[in-house]
Amino acid sequence: MKKLHKWHQTRLGLLVFGLAELAVAYGWVSLAIDRGNFLYYLLSLIFLIGSLQNLFKLIGKLINGGRKS
């Protein structure tokens, strides 16, 4: 788990996790629209927020060059 967490903090890890969560969110949105289930809408929102969080962290790393302030 520590290796996965460490890799998740890299640029490639953030990109992969962001895109994967975006794909999962798309699947849940598709099911939510098809079936009209509130739980599916909630799950799609959770995964969308997670993907946006990863992608914004990636953008921050790209802009700052990975430096910590």
Within a domain: 27: yes
Within a domain: 2: no
11-69 pLDDT, tens digit per residue, is 999 999 999 999 999 999 999 999 999 999 999 999 999 999 999 999 999 998 856 65
Question: How far is 61 from 51, CA to CA, in rounded Å?
Answer: 15
Report pLDDT for 65.
81
Within a domain: 34: yes
What's the start-to-end Cα distance of the chain, in Å? Answer: 26
pTM score, whole prediction? 0.83
Number of independent structural domains in the chain: 1
Decide if 46 contacts 55 (C-beta within 8 A).
no
Note down the domain range covering 57. Answer: 11-64
Within a domain: 1: no
Within a domain: 5: no
